[in-house]
Structure 1
Amino acid sequence: MAGGWTNDDNIQAQIDDSIADAIARARSEIPHGESLHHCEECDAPIPEARRQAVPGVRLCVPCQSAHDQEQKAVSGYNRRGSKDSQLR
């Protein structure tokens, strides 16, 4: 497989690092602790069913959805910096 300026071992290392970063980011966003009764961003009440379903929840559904969209926008990271990734 042609790797451009890198050899195949470096490509696999880059893939492994990207996966490890994605796992660390996902784990850091898992809520923990006691759930809040009101959203920490907009102060809207968080329903009891949501607090029981997601232990440690801190945001209401609309705020969580907005937060998830922001995170999705920054998650497409390409370590190789290929021209394809620069065209996005």
Structure 2
Amino acid sequence: MNGNALFDLAEIRAEEEREAQIKRATAALKQAGSIECEDCGGEIAETRRRAMPSATRCLDCQQRFERRLQRSR
């Protein structure tokens, strides 16, 4: 493969991954959330559950999770 073909293939794969992430995020939003945080086991505040029905983490754990994601990029 030449350089252009490799670049095109990389672009296609990146787009496929973006589409898969969007599908996963959309499916997660459609699912019911939880009362208990999946990370710390504490209760997810009712205000958070109302604002984000699909939430599976309390606000503190979600913020930590998102910071870890940012650092890993």
Q: Which amino acid aligns with 1:45?
A: E
CA distance in 1 between counterparts of 2:40 and 2:10 reads 39
Aligned length: 71
Q: Could you list the runs of 4 or more consecutive aligned residues of structure 1 that deviate by over 3 angstroms after TM superposition?
A: none
Q: Give unpaired runs (5+ residues) of structure 2.
A: none
Going from structure 1 to structure 2, the CA distance change for 1:7 and 1:19 (only over 3 Å counts) comes to same
Flag the 1:27–1:73 CA change in 2: closer, same or farther, 3 A: farther
Tell me the C-alpha RMSD between the 2 structures: 2.5
Q: CA deviation at 1:17?
A: 0.6
- What is the aligned partner in structure 1 of residue 53 from structure 2? 55
Q: Return the structure number with greater helix share.
A: 2
1:20 aligns with 2:16: yes
CA gap of 1:39–1:49, structure 2 versus 1, over 3 A, is: same
Partner of 1:83: none
TM-score of the superposition, structure 2-length normalised?
A: 0.66
Within a 5 Å distance, the mapping from 1:1-88 to structure 2 comes to 6-29=2-25, 31=28, 32-74=30-72, 76=73
Please, which runs of 5 or more residues in structure 1 have no aligned partner?
Answer: 77-88
Partner amino acid, structure 1, of 2:40: C
One-letter amino acid of the counterpart of residue 22, structure 1: R
1:59 and 1:52 mapped to 2: Cα distance?
13
Residue deviations 1:18-48 (CA, integer Å, cap 9, x gap): 1221332354355342221121221222122
